[in-house]
Amino acid sequence: MIISVASGKGGTGKTTIAVNLALSLNGNIQLLDCDVEEPDDHIFLKPELTKSEKIYLPKPVVDLNKCNYCGRCSEVCQYNAIAVVKNKVLIFYELCHSCGACKIACSQEAIFEKEVEKGIVEEGKAKNILFAQGKLRESESSPVPLVKAVKKKIKKGYNVIIDCSPGTSCPVVEAVKDTDFCLLVTEPTPFGLNDLKLAVEMCRKIKVPLGVIINREDIGDKKVEEYCQEENIPILMRIPFSKEIAYAYSEGIPIIEGMPEYKKKFQELFGKIKC
């Protein structure tokens, strides 16, 4: 199976679930950290990283000796990354999605592309777990291409767990789509419920089955449970607020190492997903 772990809201315990689920399972396991703007699974997994690959994307460059400033490149750009003014072509690389439309549309062949480093993908292993993570280069925007590069490392014959970034924006959609199941980690607070609704809508839009994990279940109210009941969403696991878990987390120790009884609970969680 390929299982994505998302949250809608940041800070709900998504990384905790992804890492401990991976550590609890036997057989061929792979963990992918697709939170490429701030990957932190490695803090808990402590893998030995043995491979690093730079990821490049094409970016447009204009040859002003050929350009006639017709503005066609600006017209076809869906991301407003190119503006043509009097005797100038302005390219806003932060908005560019490297789609190549401007190059194709240029009748003067005045646009060519150069490769620009987007970030890196690192691979390694920890115990029986194959591990890969993406790291977006500083100052780079649009993490989606790097998320795609990490997902290309998926191994056939493995149970794969994908740790997604917070929110419901493009990089999360890219990480969750084409997975067999999405675990949505939430907390019983108004913010947790609001962002859970957004995440549920996202999963339903891209037709990925989902279930909910309520973390720190005893700190808030019952509105998350009521919402899940109304929407017929299964609550697959509940984790109480625990100082022991918080202390272990602060020291980079997975739950199942600090509290071994949780290993069986995560195995049961995986069993519920497979059913």
pLDDT at residue number 118: 92
Mean pLDDT of 7-12: 82
Structural domains of the chain ordered from first start: 2-55+119-274 (3.40.50.300), 64-109 (3.30.70.20)
d(CA 132, CA 263): 23
Reported as a pLDDT band with limits 50, 70 and 90, residue 260 is: confident
**Partners of residue 181 on adjacent β-strands:** 3
pLDDT at residue number 106: 95
| pLDDT one-digit tens code per residue, 72-108 | 999 999 999 999 998 899 999 889 989 999 999 999 9
DSSP 44-72: HH--EEEEEEEEEEEEEEE-TTT-----H
Encoded tokens for 96: 């560019």
pLDDT at residue number 217: 85
pLDDT at 225 over 90: yes
Reported as a pLDDT band with limits 50, 70 and 90, residue 221 is: confident
The mean pLDDT value of the chain amounts to 92
Residue 145: in which H helix or E strand, if any? helix 144-151
In percent, how much of the chain has pLDDT > 70? 100
pLDDT at residue number 206: 95
Mean pLDDT of 57-65: 94
Kindly report the number of other CB atoms within 10 A of residue 74's CB atom. 19
pLDDT at 163 over 70: yes
| pLDDT one-digit tens code per residue, 204-217 | 999 999 999 999 88
Encoded tokens for 231: 């929407």
| pLDDT one-digit tens code per residue, 21-54 | 999 999 999 999 999 999 999 999 999 999 999 9
Closest of 175, 156, 150 to residue 28, by C-alpha: 156
Q: Which residue is it, tokens 């043509």?
A: 84
pLDDT at residue number 275: 61
